[in-house]
Structure formats: C-alpha cells, structure tokens
Amino acid sequence: MEFVEPLRTQEELDAMNYYFKNRSERDYLLFYMGINVAFRISDLLGLKVGDVRGRDKVRRREMKTGKLREMIILPKLKRVLEEYCTDKEDEEYLFKSTRYKNSNRPITRTQAYRILKTGARECGIKNIGTHSFRKTFGYHFYKESKDVVTLMKLFNHHDPSITLRYIGIERDEMSKAVKKWGGL
C-alpha cells in the first residue's frame, strides 16, 4: 500500500481548491469537506443532504470503529454546504454518483480516490490518497494549535506518537533535524 501524505502548504491547498472549484461542485465539496471534517472516506461518502443541511455539527457512526463521531461544521464549510444543498432532497447522498441515472447511490471509494488522484496529478502533487483528507486536517490543526491530545481524540488514536506519525509531523521533524545537522 502506498504511503500518502497530507497537503502541507497553502500553495498545494490553493491549487487543489482551484482545480476542484473549476471541475465540479460535487468534487469540490468532497475535497473541501474532506479536509475540514477529518472523517474517513467511507464515512464521508455515506453522508446525505439531511445529515448536514442547516446543522452546526455533522454526526456519523464510524464504519471502522462503530463509534459515534461529531465534528463542527465551520462557517465557510457551512456556506459551501448551504449553496450545494439548495436544490437537493434530504435523502440524496451528498456525493451522489452520476453513473446510475435516476438512482440515489454515492460514489464509491475507488471513484473518490480517482477524483482526488486526478486533481493531485493536475496540480503536480504526489503521494496523495483518500487518507490525505484526514491527514491534511490533522497536519494543519496541529501546526496551528500544537494540541496533539485533542487531535489524538478526534482521530481515535491511543497515543500521541501515532497521531504525529500519521499526520507526517514526525517525518518533518526528522528532515529538519538532518538538515540542521548538515552532515560530516
């Protein structure tokens, strides 16, 4: 399995936002929501319009752990969701497949991966996968707050070192230390 990275720089985030905004409303929401709620892709894809319309929080029982997760819908994401959901029914999947006409099915994990990989390739970004959504959220949350304990709880990790390794902080710090050392 390929090791995927978070989007670390504002330039990467801006490039991906621009790409998806100009590609499709659904794909933009998938990207934007993915980096702002830190749900696993399987949990994101199961969301319906009624799960988010007019709400301040999104709740989901995690498919992997069975635990109930709740994330705040931040104001900018709330505006994006309101606009996206305007002409949709509560029972429609947020990330509805266009493959099956007249059918209410979400896109598959594989299709979500393809969408993200295509965007990353177009933006010149490597080592991206659907876990990059959660990792990007975690990376930027940690860089801003330095609060590994809250992040660990959000991700349902049992140890801060697992969380730091997962979001790529451990690798960043090792690289920084080697560069600082300078060699022999």
What positions carry a catalytic annotation? 40, 64, 131, 134, 157, 166
The token pair at 72 is 């705040």
List C-alpha distances in Å: 35 to 38, 44, 139: 6, 11, 10
- What is the 3 state secondary structure string of 79-96? HHHHHHHCCCCCCCECCE
- CA-to-CA dists, residue 58 to 12, 72, 92, angstroms: 26, 6, 16
Q: Is 8 helix (H, G, I), strand (E, B) or coil?
A: coil
Q: Which residue has the tokens 């975690």?
A: 138
Q: What is the DSSP code (8-state) at residue 93?
A: B
Q: Which residue has the tokens 């801060």?
A: 160
Q: Hey, how many other C-beta atoms are within 10 angstroms of the C-beta on 178?
A: 10
For residue 96, how far is the Cα from the chain centroid? 17
As beta bridge partners, residue 61 has 68
